[in-house]
């Protein structure tokens, strides 16, 4: 008798085990469950939040690709700067359009899952955005559970709230909410999506990135796809799953074309300085970034706006 769990995204019982992975950090294998109704892929068991300690943020934890310490100390010296500039550009374009929120002169921006605060610092340093209606000041807030959130509050003076504190904020608090590579770390995405949807102003934009499990690379690699890190990536999405999640939360999918976000992903994966140098040059070739985008389905994953 199968004891397949209900889907953690849509609640359907129409799920099946798709495979398992063993990892040195866990005595038990991690099981991937696929939902046949919403295409969500979710991992059991779920690793406790304590995995997000200082070692994790320094790249000595389960994900060697992150180095948030460098980002915390000097984000301008890291490759993530291209990602931050891309996100601010996308937000600025959105704010320049007719359906964007118009109330108030400031742009209230929540970075949900702010990690070591690189994007918060970039936004604070950027200070303002230029829109057809004039210059608007950026007011930033972060939210996270990791070891850096306290440091960002006390050492860097940021307004960083826990998810529980976010839930106490009034409806429509933000023009822009970013959730960059964060939703894959959350066991039940539905309540979080409803919270973010409620906190967006009408016309506000949710800038969300996460791996695309329906991309050509993911289909080719299966559970060997690099994004399958079951200790931390416990919720895995494809465009259809995201669209359904947005719809259930009252949001409308919105597709954007990423550039700097893809540049960062390419350089982050380089490994050695020589490969990084080669990739940096490859990114200048016409079509290379678009090819990577197609392969990994980055821009195929929708963002969302509140109607």
For residue 274, the tally of other CB atoms under 10 A from its CB is: 9
Using the rule CB under 5 A, is 107 a contact of Zn ion? no
Q: 227 near 237, Cβ under 8 Å?
A: no
Nearer to Zn ion, 14 or 96 (CB): 14
Nearer to Zn ion, 38 or 88 (CB): 38
The two beta strands, 134-143 and 107-112, are parallel
In residues, how long is the chain?
Answer: 307
Dihedral sign computed on CA atoms, order 53, 221, 181, 38:
negative
For 95, 120, 176, 187, 203, the CA distances from 184, given in Å and listed in that order, are: 27, 20, 20, 8, 25
Dihedral sign computed on CA atoms, order 290, 64, 224, 39:
negative
Q: 41 near 213, Cβ under 8 Å?
A: yes
| Cα(179)–Cα(213) distance, integer angstroms | 18
| Cα(292)–Cα(273) distance, integer angstroms | 20
Nearer to Zn ion, 35 or 229 (CB): 35
Using the rule CB under 5 A, is 208 a contact of Zn ion? no
| Minimal distance, residue 7 CB to Zn ion, in Å | 3
| Minimal distance, residue 35 CB to Zn ion, in Å | 3
| Minimal distance, residue 39 CB to Zn ion, in Å | 7
| Cα(104)–Cα(140) distance, integer angstroms | 15
Task: Give the interface segment with Zn ion, choosing from 1-9, 52-60, 134-142, 214-222 (CB under 5 A).
Answer: 1-9
Using the rule CB under 5 A, is 12 a contact of Zn ion? yes
Nearer to Zn ion, 4 or 70 (CB): 4
Task: Give the interface segment with Zn ion, choosing from 3-11, 23-31, 50-58, 185-193 (CB under 5 A).
Answer: 3-11
| Cα(230)–Cα(31) distance, integer angstroms | 8
Give the residue, chosen from 10, 41, 200, 249, that forms a contact with Zn ion under the rule CB under 5 A: 10
Nearer to Zn ion, 40 or 68 (CB): 40
Nearer to Zn ion, 10 or 218 (CB): 10
Site pattern 35..54 for Zn ion (x: CB under 5 A): x-xx-x--------------
Binding residues for Zn ion, rule CB under 5 A, total 8
Which residues are near Zn ion by CB under 5 A? 7, 9-10, 12, 35, 37-38, 40
């Amino acid at each position: 008798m199968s004891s397949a769990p209900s889907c953690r995204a849509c609640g359907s019982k129409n799920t099946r085990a798709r495979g398992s992975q063993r990892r040195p950090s866990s005595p038990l294998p991690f099981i991937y469950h696929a939902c046949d109704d919403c295409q969500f892929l979710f991992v059991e068991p779920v690793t406790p939040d304590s995995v997000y300690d200082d070692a994790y943020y320094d790249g000595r934890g389960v994900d060697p690709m992150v180095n948030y310490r460098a980002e915390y100390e000097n984000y301008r010296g890291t490759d993530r700067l291209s990602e931050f500039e891309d996100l601010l550009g996308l937000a600025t374009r959105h704010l320049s359009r007719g359906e964007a929120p118009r109330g108030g002169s400031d742009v209230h921006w929540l970075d949900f899952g702010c990690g070591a605060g690189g994007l918060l610092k970039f936004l604070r340093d950027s200070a303002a955005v230029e829109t057809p209606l004039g210059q608007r000041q950026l007011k930033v807030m972060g939210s996270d559970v990791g070891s850096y959130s306290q440091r960002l509050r006390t050492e860097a003076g940021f307004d960083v709230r826990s998810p529980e504190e976010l839930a106490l904020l009034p409806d429509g608090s933000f023009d822009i909410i970013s959730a960059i590579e964060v939703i894959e770390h959350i066991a039940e995405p539905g309540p979080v999506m409803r919270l973010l949807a409620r906190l967006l102003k009408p016309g506000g934009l949710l800038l969300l990135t996460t791996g695309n499990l329906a991309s050509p690379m993911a289909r080719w690699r299966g559970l060997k796809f690099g994004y399958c890190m079951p200790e931390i990536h416990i919720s895995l999405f494809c465009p259809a799953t995201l669209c359904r999640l947005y719809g259930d939360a009252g949001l409308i999918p919105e597709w954007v074309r990423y550039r700097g976000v893809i540049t960062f992903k390419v350089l982050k994966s380089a490994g050695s300085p020589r490969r990084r140098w080669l990739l940096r040059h490859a990114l200048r070739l016409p079509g290379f970034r678009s090819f990577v985008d197609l392969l990994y389905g980055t821009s195929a994953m929708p963002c969302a706006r509140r109607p």
